[in-house]
Amino acid sequence: MYLNFIEKKNDFLRAAGRTYDSGIQTGTGGNLSVRLDDHLMIVKPSGFSYGACSEENLTVTDFSGTLVQGNYQPTRESVLHGNLYKKFTEIGGIVHVHSPYAILASLHFDQVELVTMHSALKLKAPIPVIDVKTQAVEEQELYKVFDAFEKNPSLTAFILRGHGIVAVGKTAEKAGQTAELIEETAMIFWEDEKMKRLNNNQK
């Protein structure tokens, strides 16, 4: 159990560092988490950047976002993570980022198409855009997220419209890599659509 916790903590810190270094999340936004068991998770504390996540500010909450261990509060966004862990037992890590191209594409399209060979190979299905009323997906709107996964069991992510990517994986590191790939794909998808429209207008 103890070793298991160390592995999970290391996954959390590695994913936080990698996501920060990739530049897809600036400032203190976004949130990542790692499942510890059937009711606890490690989450990024509120007000800290991905780059500032460390052993000193390690934060453990239950799946409803209530603080269990640590000196800092988690964000309200943690509740979505907890609900995903509760519903889908195979999810081990979640990375949520406010990355610009995914947000931009979500303002104009209902899904990000897998326009690159690599994204089609790795992600399997277009990334759906989900509309919710609040920043921290409330209980009554969770069905929209669950529906997307139930419609497509190989789904590894979705985009909250105008807000950002939520990527899931067996580990947080895998979820982070998925978020990076989606941001890159969203950029190419967006530029490709722009170019197509430009070409059509010139005809």
Q: How many residues contact Zn ion, by CB under 5 A?
A: 1
Per-position x/- string for 110-149, each x denoting binding to Zn ion as judged by CB under 5 A, each - no binding = ----------------------------------------
Biggest CA–CA distance in the chain, Å, is: 65
126/164 with CB nearer Zn ion: 164
Least Å distance between CB 11 and Zn ion? 21
Least Å distance between CB 120 and Zn ion? 27
Whole-Å CA distances, 173 to 34, 170, 179: 9, 8, 10
Q: 54: Cβ–Cβ under 8 A, 6 or more apart, which residues? A: 13
Per-position x/- string for 172-201, each x denoting binding to Zn ion as judged by CB under 5 A, each - no binding = ------------------------------
Ranges within 150-169 binding Zn ion (CB under 5 A): 164
Residue 195 φ then ψ, to 5° = -65, -40
Residue sitting closest to Zn ion (CB): 164
Least Å distance between CB 77 and Zn ion? 5
DSSP H/E element including 32: strand 31-35
Tokens linked to 132? 């919710």
Residue 21 φ then ψ, to 5° = -65, -30
Summarize as ranges the residues that interact with Zn ion (CB under 5 A). 164
